[in-house]
Structure 1
Amino acid sequence: MMRKHTLAILVNDQPGVLQRVCGLFGRRGFNIDSISVGGTEESGLSRMTVVTTGDDRTIEQIEKQLSKLIDVIRIQDVSSKPMVSRELALIKLEAEPSIRPEILGIVETFRASVIDVGPKHMIIQAVGDLSKLDAIIELLRPYGISELSYTGATAMTRGS
């Protein structure tokens, strides 16, 4: 059965590692729905969070292929365990002062925040899972979204 999988990949923090991981996905015909990379608690290592869609056999193939890359330390399918996953969206609206109270009502409902305000615009930051971000975007769309940017998911398993 095809479903989304979130892979946490611990890698050496070296130039070209991201390119090799993405290249592996591309060469094998696997799609990356989102990817984010950042530092870890251990110096010299980075964590890649890759969201991809596939059946269990496909994910197993991806994990086997990734484990062959020299800078890959560990791969974990965190979607198969209790996990916390978040994405960030920045949403720029063309917002005259007269409609801002309505927008603020939506922002507060989603526990988002206004991070920039100008004479005719505002930028909203929303954090959550993809369904939450999709919901706030749909409610803000009638106000005129002029720019939108998502991060990829970042995730970790719950507990120890």
Structure 2
Amino acid sequence: MKHTLSVLLQNKPGVLSRVTGLFSGRGFNIESLCVAETLDPGISCLTLVTRGDNSIIEQITKQLHKLIDVIKVTDISEKEYVEREMVLIRIKAESQTRAEVLRVIDIFRGKVVDVSSRSYAVEVTGSASKIQALIDLLKPIGIKEIVRTGTIAMARASKNK
């Protein structure tokens, strides 16, 4: 089962290395990892996607809590949450396929961010399933390059907040 963990940690050199080392040392895989500063520049929020049953996730969470620079670990997949991913895709755009590429990008609410005589670079943001659906539609046209951010996620606010 897929789990999305949100980890608040000190924004110091080596902290991310210790977190990923914990995973590799125990044979756990990280499917997606994204980390950036929060409003407080001394604290970062790491969003991590991994797979495992509840006992494995509980073990991972306990091990993360033992790391000195980890402030808080939350399995947000246990709550309602919003997740997004961004992808940049360079697509073949020959004269006969340009209109089709633009229609597909428009359907997915993407935008063209770079144009050359033979390709478009497009940006699309959405859930991982939306990104995968876009990729599946563009493959027959001809994808030249893909860069993905990985998942970022945030728990939905409760009705009282």
The two structures have a TM-score, normalised by structure 1, of: 0.96
Unaligned runs of 5+ in 1: none
Q: How far, CA to CA, are the matches of 1:56 and 1:123 in structure 2?
A: 40
Partner AA of 1:76 in structure 2: T
Q: Which deviates the most, 64-73 or 87-96?
A: 87-96
Matches within 5 A, 1:52-131: 52-131=50-129
C-alpha displacement at 1:83, in angstroms?
Answer: 0.5
SS of match in other structure, 2:140: helix
Matches within 5 A, 1:1-160: 3-159=1-157, 160=161
SS of match in other structure, 1:85: strand
C-alpha displacement at 1:98, in angstroms?
Answer: 3.2
**In the TM superposition, what whole-angstrom CA distance separates every residue of 1:32-87 from its partner, at most 9, and x where no partner exists?**
01000011122200000000001111000000000010110000001111101001
C-alpha displacement at 1:97, in angstroms?
Answer: 3.2
Q: How far, CA to CA, are the matches of 1:26 and 1:16 in structure 2?
A: 15
SS of match in other structure, 2:31: strand
C-alpha displacement at 1:22, in angstroms?
Answer: 0.3
C-alpha displacement at 1:149, in angstroms?
Answer: 1.1
Q: Which deviates the most, 89-98 or 111-120?
A: 89-98
SS of match in other structure, 2:12: coil
Partner AA of 2:3 in structure 1: H
Partner AA of 1:78 in structure 2: I
Unaligned runs of 5+ in 2: none
Partner AA of 1:137 in structure 2: I
Percent identity between matched residues is 48
Q: How far, CA to CA, are the matches of 1:103 and 1:147 in structure 2?
A: 15
Runs of 4+ deviating beyond 3 Å: none
SS of match in other structure, 1:143: coil
